[in-house]
Amino acid sequence: MTELLPWQAGAWTELVKRHRKAGLPHALLFTGLAGIGKHQLARYTAKWLLCLRDEDQPCGQCHSCHLWEAGSHPDYLLAQPEEGSKQVRIDTVRRVNEFLSQTPQISRCQVVGLRPVEVMNTNAANALLKTLEEPAGESFLLLETERFGSVLPTIRSRCQRFVLETPPEAAALGWLSAQGHAAATAAQALRRNHGAPLRANDWLRADQAGQQQRLLELLVQWSRGAAPLQATADGWSKLELSDVTHWFYGFLSDCIKVSMGVPADTLTFGNEVSLVLGGATPSAAKLIPLHDKVKEILGRLLSGAGHYNKQLLIESLLIEWQALLYDRQ
């Protein structure tokens, strides 16, 4: 069933209001953090636009709504990266263009979902521009991005933006509890995932807490010079590189905050910082270059542009981290 998430009622009212007032634009770009439900909202919007009745939500009963729930609506196309890839490629955009060159079969319009719009190579983007500019008949493009700043300006300028806020903590915790997570672990998962409930849910299901604990234990030993590089890097390498980098990035960010006087117990990774550094924090000036480097690597990994030798990369990060520690006095 395509439903709204509990915290999306306000966003939905706003969207319906926009549509009633001036009609939704040909291209609508949903923006907001990963894991807050952009895709759910986009799908609900698609179902609504296709619905044969003119109500303030999809009716759930018409032929269109039935086809939607069966996953076989002929007037809807979801365009996203192929399995194993993170980039929307030109073939995918060509499929969109071809789909939109037809006429609607059941509904009054055609709807295309396109995600993520920030990871698109130049050829794919150029092919999309024409479609954004010259809508073929009655059609809607519902685009999604978690990094608005990385969307090509030529695409951005041709879309209307719809910003989704991170949900209030109480709503997020309530939803996580409904997914079967205990309050304390749900709260921890939410903090680790920037308040994004869907991401926190995935995180808990994948036992990221246990995996991160392992990363931490290895880093403690390594930082004390009590473990060899090879074993530490092997341990870290057991996890997805993007997960390791994401964790290390969060850890380094909090190290910098501690070095500038923020109390560790107020920070997401405060406990980790205290355990690894034991009160002797390197200066921010020393931490920032490594922090920025990890941030850049993470950005490349998330955009699908990063191709790294996992073991070598982890070893080099660990070596840089240790050099920074030996240099702190």
Applying CB under 5 A, the residues found at the interface with Zn ion are 51, 59, 62, 65
- Report the alpha-carbon distance of residue 16 to residue 14 in Å, rounded: 6
Q: Please, which residue, 50 or 124, has the CB nearer to Zn ion?
A: 50
Backbone angles phi, psi at 74, to 5 degrees: -75, -15
Q: Please, which residue, 16 or 59, has the CB nearer to Zn ion?
A: 59
Q: Please, which residue, 69 or 217, has the CB nearer to Zn ion?
A: 69
CB of 22 to Zn ion, least distance (A): 23
Q: C-alpha 138: how far from its chain's center?
A: 30
- Cβ atoms of 275 and 224 within 8 Å: the answer is no
Among all chains, which residue has been given the structure tokens 């709503």? 171
Q: Please, which residue, 55 or 207, has the CB nearer to Zn ion?
A: 55
CB of 48 to Zn ion, least distance (A): 8
Q: What is the DSSP track for 148-183?
A: GGGS-HHHHTTSEEEEPPPPPHHHHHHHHHHTT--H
- Cα–Cα nearest to 321, from 240, 248, 227: 248
Q: C-alpha 312: how far from its chain's center?
A: 26
Q: Please, which residue, 57 or 242, has the CB nearer to Zn ion?
A: 57
- Report the alpha-carbon distance of residue 267 to residue 173 in Å, rounded: 19
Q: Please, which residue, 52 or 152, has the CB nearer to Zn ion?
A: 52
CB of 87 to Zn ion, least distance (A): 34
Q: Please, which residue, 20 or 328, has the CB nearer to Zn ion?
A: 20
- Cβ atoms of 50 and 68 within 8 Å: the answer is yes
Helix, strand, coil % in the chain, rounded to nearest 5? 55, 10, 35
CB of 166 to Zn ion, least distance (A): 30
CB of 60 to Zn ion, least distance (A): 6
For residue 142, list its beta bridge partners: 28, 113
- Cα–Cα nearest to 269, from 191, 321, 182, 170: 191
- Cβ atoms of 169 and 196 within 8 Å: the answer is no
CB of 270 to Zn ion, least distance (A): 50
Q: Please, which residue, 69 or 240, has the CB nearer to Zn ion?
A: 69
